[in-house]
Chains A and B, each alone.
Chain A
């Protein structure tokens, strides 16, 4: 099946640091990538939809300046958590899908972010 690679898998850093998370589709061109956040024992919450070559579409309540998304190519999207604080600690997971509205999304393995 399709493979999505997410890196890093775990980050521990000090408050105020900016953290970049990469999401790559390895064997297909992903015109759209999605970024989710998951708190412990909760479901995945969509943060933003990332479209190649255009600005990301953020969900209501998600700070655009805090969570910067770049989708510069058909195989790479990045999420940068700027000036991270302890409340930003969470599990972040990306997904990608190819053409077709009702196709499975393929997920990366997630990034566990811990801000001290």
Chain B
């Protein structure tokens, strides 16, 4: 079965600094995708970044980058130059081809950016 683990219930970061949100996963499927979503207090789920299991390079999207370490089964999100608007819940998620295409989520990390 798939399992996604986010061990940091809450994180604080100073504005303009970088922060790393941890995510580990477990699957026996060789083909899978890893995703990060941001959920502000208003509730919508905002897609941030995607990493495929066969991708050789770490994914990057603007200030977001994914530190993908396949052997360690980790997919940490790095946010550079934090902004006050980055304060939100962040969810790591995974889809694997063996699991009916559904997406499973970690417990989430609440990030607070301090001015």
Contact = CB atoms under 8 A, between A and B. Distances in A.
Interface of A: 1, 32, 34, 42-44, 46, 49, 57, 91, 93, 95, 97, 101-110, 112
Nearest to B47: A104
Interface of B: 31-33, 35, 37, 42-45, 47, 50, 52-53, 91, 95-97, 100-108
Contacts of B100: 49, 57
Contacts of A112: 43
Contacts of A42: 107-108
Given A101-B31, A102-B33, A104-B35, A43 B43 contact: no
B91 A43 contact: yes
Secondary structure of the A side of the interface?
strand
Nearest to B9: A41
B42 to A, nearest CB: 8
B91 A95 contact: no
Give the residue among A44, A57, A91, A110 with the most B Cβ atoms within 10 A: A44
Of the candidates B35, B42, B45, B107, the one having the most CB atoms from chain A within 10 angstroms of its own CB is B45
